[in-house]
């Protein structure tokens, strides 16, 4: 691979096509939705388990592909996924969205009825990206999901969203930045799909209150967990390190993801702090988590900046690729292109599963993949596809 080639639109489009090629059409369940857990050889590991996050992310993936490749089959797959979210995840009695269900041949069993703001944010993004792909029927449910988020999760005093609620919409005391990150990403997509400033205003509010407001309580970094009053909870899940959901420690992946979102926001709002914070967050991530011996960004570091989770996750590397490119184009600094190419080279060498066309989900510090989980556990290649998508969007403006 010639490194300069990774900067090209053609290379990035090919990565989207290649990644989606693993899932299409094998992920399509004709009775509804998408199969979401796969073995290393591409066979289906669990045909029943459906998570709202993955259901929504498949829609996003297919909508992006439909937009770039103009393939009716991708558009139909996105529409198929949207119907499943409304028919299987959503409870029409109270408009909650079940986080996890079992589904088989049209039969639905709720496994976890919790409604997560994170899940609603991904659902909002699915409708927004479907609308960008020309699926006009997504417009009304897009507005409806935004209304739900504001009615049940919005904390006006903090200017942020709460995290989760039970089947009766009783909100828990836990607060987290992750729901707000994904809400910000979804709202930016919603604004770009509709030009409705309500989405952009809320995205800007979330971005400032997390990356500046809450970060001021954590040495300029982004802590994950908070008490109900939005003061940092430094011990939440500290004794359960390595969790995929609500992990302890600073997450470099979320720092670079926020960097990407700040620069997308800057496309629409000319505010000097956005680019400054984006560059600072990216620098903190690579300075504290890049593995000089084995390459790649490690999963988490503690408040004293020692590594507390050495594993390498595909989504972290993908988000770093996107943010490095966006900063390079925005700031005109070659050092960020160097990071972009370095991370691409690392991922092509270690994360790419060349036999199947997808990326391993997680590697050990020395870049060995965990065979049993390398493709399963909410794995859709969403972050890879959307990293490429955002770089293409920015390249098209050059």
Active site residues: 254, 383
- Cis-peptide, bond into residue 157, ω within 30° of zero: no
Distance between CA atoms of residues 252 and 221, nearest Å: 10
Helix (H) or strand (E) holding 121: helix 117-132
Strand partners, 24: none
The separation between CA 377 and the C-alpha centre of its own chain, rounded to angstroms, equals: 14
Distance between CA atoms of residues 171 and 131, nearest Å: 30
Helix (H) or strand (E) holding 164: strand 164-165
Q: Evaluate whether 266 touches 275 at the Cβ level (below 8 Å).
A: yes
Listed in sequence order, the residues at least 6 apart from 75 whose beta carbon sits closer than 8 Å to its beta carbon are: 62, 63, 66, 133, 134, 135
CA nearest to 63, candidates 10, 173, 142: 142
């Amino acid at each position: 691979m010639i490194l300069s080639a990774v900067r090209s639109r053609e290379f990035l489009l090919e990565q989207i096509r290649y990644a989606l090629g693993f899932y299409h059409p094998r992920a399509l369940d004709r009775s509804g939705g998408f199969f979401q857990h796969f073995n290393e050889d591409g066979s289906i590991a669990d045909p029943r388990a459906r998570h709202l996050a993955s259901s929504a992310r498949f829609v996003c993936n297919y909508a992006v592909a439909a937009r770039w490749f103009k393939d009716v089959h991708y558009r139909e797959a996105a529409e198929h996924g949207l119907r499943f979210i409304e028919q299987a995840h959503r409870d029409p009695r109270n408009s909650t969205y079940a986080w996890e269900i079992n589904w088989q041949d049209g039969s639905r069993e709720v496994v976890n009825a919790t409604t997560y703001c994170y899940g609603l944010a991904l659902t909002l993004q699915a409708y927004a990206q479907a609308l960008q792909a020309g699926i006009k029927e997504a417009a009304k449910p897009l507005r409806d999901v935004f209304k739900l988020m504001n009615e049940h999760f919005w904390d006006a005093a903090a200017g942020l969203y709460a995290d989760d609620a039970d089947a009766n919409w009783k909100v828990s005391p836990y607060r987290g930045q992750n729901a707000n990150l994904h809400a910000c990403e979804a709202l930016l997509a919603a604004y770009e799909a509709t030009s409705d400033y309500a989405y952009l205003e809320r995205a800007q509010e979330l971005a400032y209150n997390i990356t500046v407001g809450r970060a001021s309580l954590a040495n300029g970094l982004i802590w994950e967990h908070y008490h109900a009053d939005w003061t940092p909870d430094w011990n939440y899940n500290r004794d359960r390190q390595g969790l995929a959901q609500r992990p302890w420690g600073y997450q470099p992946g979320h720092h670079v993801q926020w960097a990407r979102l700040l620069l997308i926001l800057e496309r629409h709002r000319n505010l000097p702090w956005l680019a400054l914070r984006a560059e600072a967050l990216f620098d903190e991530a690579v300075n504290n988590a890049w593995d000089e011996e084995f390459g790649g960004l490690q999963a988490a570091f503690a408040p004293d900046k020692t590594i507390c989770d050495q594993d390498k996750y595909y989504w972290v590397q993908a988000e770093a690729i996107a943010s490095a490119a966006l900063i390079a184009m925005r700031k005109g600094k070659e050092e960020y292109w160097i990071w972009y190419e370095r991370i691409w080279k690392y991922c092509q060498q270690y994360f790419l599963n060349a036999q199947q066309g997808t990326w391993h989900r997680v590697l050990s510090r020395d870049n060995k993949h965990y065979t049993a989980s390398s493709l399963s556990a909410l794995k859709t290649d969403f972050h890879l596809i959307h990293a490429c998508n955002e770089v293409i969007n920015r390249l098209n403006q050059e």
